[in-house]
């Protein structure tokens, strides 16, 4: 959820509580004002009817047409003249229903006669008041939320603009660029502090990246020369006359270890260069042609293991990527399909418009196939493989936003690369 939407949600919830409490308060306040107004109007009418009755008895004949608004009766005896106010329900002959009234009852002695006077006025029912208050509150609440949302959206575009500029810059930031990030300052202190912190952080990241990159390249370069010398000396030493069989075995073991270390150094250097995005030249690579080329390169090894190769090229597939990395990717997949295949097994290579797939026979997996894309993870711990081939495949695929999957089904290992 976006920060603005979450803020709006809290505003809406807080406003809802305030409007509900305000609605209750408004109802009681409105009821109080109505009651006060009713009582005032009733007293005015009472005084008017008393004054009218003091001058004439005509009010006695008028009351039957007054729709319960006034009722006057002669009592013939003295009664307490205390005024009382109450609510009552009377049947209205015009509307044909019961109506709630507020009435004032008073006894008066006028023109040598005692009278009982009722002055009434129809009340607005509580249900009508509650409905009116609810409708008003709902309308005000919706109008408030609409205005608040529009105002927040407009203000956020202006106030949060520096933040979105920082976010966009971070998203496009590449650590291999020599320059560190720099942001323009704004009037908002928090955004300025964020910009300063990110500038400081990226500057340190750049320094550490180039330090590590320089170390990796130098270490790899400097290691290759001593390794080449060691391998050369061991090969010369193996050709020396008079060596015992035990000594020959020791030299062969050392030479094997030196070769393995050389390959490991080269593989790690390639991985480092891939992850550091150091391969920039792009071209359209014909996957069909490159696979055929690498199959021809390893044709002798394929024949030695008696492997049957089946090619199902349904489409011509071209991928835009670096030529060197394309060859490394396909070579690793071809080598993996050969090396981890069964004797007299088979390889099925499928190419479609959306990608390509290598399938080879092999032993049942004991581990999660997705782990084979991690460094130094091998299906067989006793294998002499470095465990970096599929890591390189994964790194190259990620570089060009390709999806690579490893599955196992019916004695076949499937590695698919999809666009």
User: From CA 353, how far away is CA 418, in angstroms rounded?
Assistant: 9
Could you tell me the CA-to-CA distances from 124 to 98, 130, 348 in Å, in that order? 13, 10, 87
Q: What residues does each domain of the chain span?
A: 3-145, 192-275, 283-418
According to DSSP, the residues that pair with 351 across neighbouring strands are: 313, 356
CATH class of 283-418: alpha beta
The average pLDDT across 148-159 equals 76
The average pLDDT across 398-411 equals 86
Model confidence band, residue 309 (pLDDT cutoffs 50, 70, 90): very high
> Quick check: 408 pLDDT over 90?
no
Nearest to 104 by CA among 123, 118, 121: 118
Residue range 228-257, pLDDT digits in tens: 788 788 887 878 887 778 888 888 888 777
The average pLDDT across 406-413 equals 87
pLDDT at 253: 83
CATH class of 192-275: mainly alpha
Residue range 181-224, pLDDT digits in tens: 778 787 778 878 888 888 888 888 877 777 777 776 666 666 77
Angle (nearest 5°) at CA 69 between 66 and 75? 95
Write down the pTM of the prediction.
0.48
Say if residues 358 and 336 touch (Cβ distance below 8 Å): yes
pLDDT at 383: 53
pLDDT at 288: 93
Cα end-to-end span (Å), the chain: 30
> Quick check: 308 pLDDT over 90?
yes
| Full 3-state SS string of 139-160 | HHHHHHHHHHHHHHHHHHHHHC
Residue range 54-105, pLDDT digits in tens: 777 666 666 666 667 788 878 877 667 678 888 888 877 777 778 888 888 8
pLDDT at 350: 94
Q: What is the mean pLDDT of the chain?
A: 79
Residue range 249-283, pLDDT digits in tens: 888 888 777 777 777 677 667 767 776 666 677 88
pLDDT at 325: 84
Number of H helices, E strands in the chain: 10, 11
Model confidence band, residue 286 (pLDDT cutoffs 50, 70, 90): very high
Task: Give the percent of the chain with pLDDT over 90.
Answer: 12
Contacts of 263 (CB under 8 A, 6+ apart): 386
pLDDT at 375: 58
pLDDT at 67: 67
């Amino acid at each position: 959820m976006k920060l603005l939407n979450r803020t709006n949600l809290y505003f809406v919830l807080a406003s809802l509580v305030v409007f509900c409490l305000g609605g209750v308060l408004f109802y009681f306040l409105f009821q109080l004002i109505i009651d006060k107004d009713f009582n005032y109007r009733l007293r005015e009418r009472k005084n008017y009817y008393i004054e009218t009755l003091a001058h004439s008895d005509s009010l006695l004949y008028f009351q039957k047409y007054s729709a319960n608004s006034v009722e006057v009766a002669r009592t013939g005896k003295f009664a307490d003249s205390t005024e009382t106010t109450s609510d009552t329900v009377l049947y209205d002959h015009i509307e044909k229903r019961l109506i709630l009234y507020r009435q004032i009852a008073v006894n008066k002695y006028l023109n040598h006669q005692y009278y009982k006077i009722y002055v009434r006025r129809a009340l607005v029912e509580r249900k009508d008041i509650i409905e009116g208050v609810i409708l008003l509150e709902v309308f005000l609440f919706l109008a408030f939320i609409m205005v608040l949302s529009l105002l927040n959206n407009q203000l956020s575009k202006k106030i949060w603009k520096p933040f979105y500029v920082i976010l966009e810059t971070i998203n496009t930031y590449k650590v291999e660029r020599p320059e560190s990030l720099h942001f323009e300052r704004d009037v908002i202190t928090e955004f300025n502090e964020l910009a300063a912190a990110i500038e400081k952080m990226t500057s340190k990241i750049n320094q550490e990246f180039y330090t590590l990159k320089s170390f990796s390249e130098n270490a790899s370069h400097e290691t290759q020369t001593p390794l080449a010398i060691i391998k050369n000396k061991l090969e010369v030493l193996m050709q020396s006359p008079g060596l015992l069989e035990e000594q020959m075995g020791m030299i062969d073991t050392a030479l094997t270890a030196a070769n393995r270390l050389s390959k490991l150094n080269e593989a790690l250097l390639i991985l480092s260069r891939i992850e550091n995005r150091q391969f920039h030249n792009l071209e359209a690579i014909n996957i069909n042609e490159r696979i055929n080329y690498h199959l021809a390169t390893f044709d002798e090894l394929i024949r030695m293991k008696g492997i049957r190769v089946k090619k199902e090229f349904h489409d011509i597939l071209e991928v835009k990527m670096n030529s060197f990395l394309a060859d490394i990717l396909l070579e690793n997949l071809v080598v993996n399909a050969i090396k981890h295949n069964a004797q007299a097994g088979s390889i099925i290579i499928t190419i479609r418009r959306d990608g390509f797939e290598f399938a080879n026979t092999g032993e049942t997996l004991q581990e999660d196939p997705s782990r084979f894309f991690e460094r130094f993870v091998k299906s067989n711990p006793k294998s002499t493989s470095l465990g970096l081939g599929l890591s390189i495949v994964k790194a190259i695929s990620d570089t060009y936003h390709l999806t690579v999957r490893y599955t196992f089904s019916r004695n076949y290992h499937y590695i698919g690369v999809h666009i």
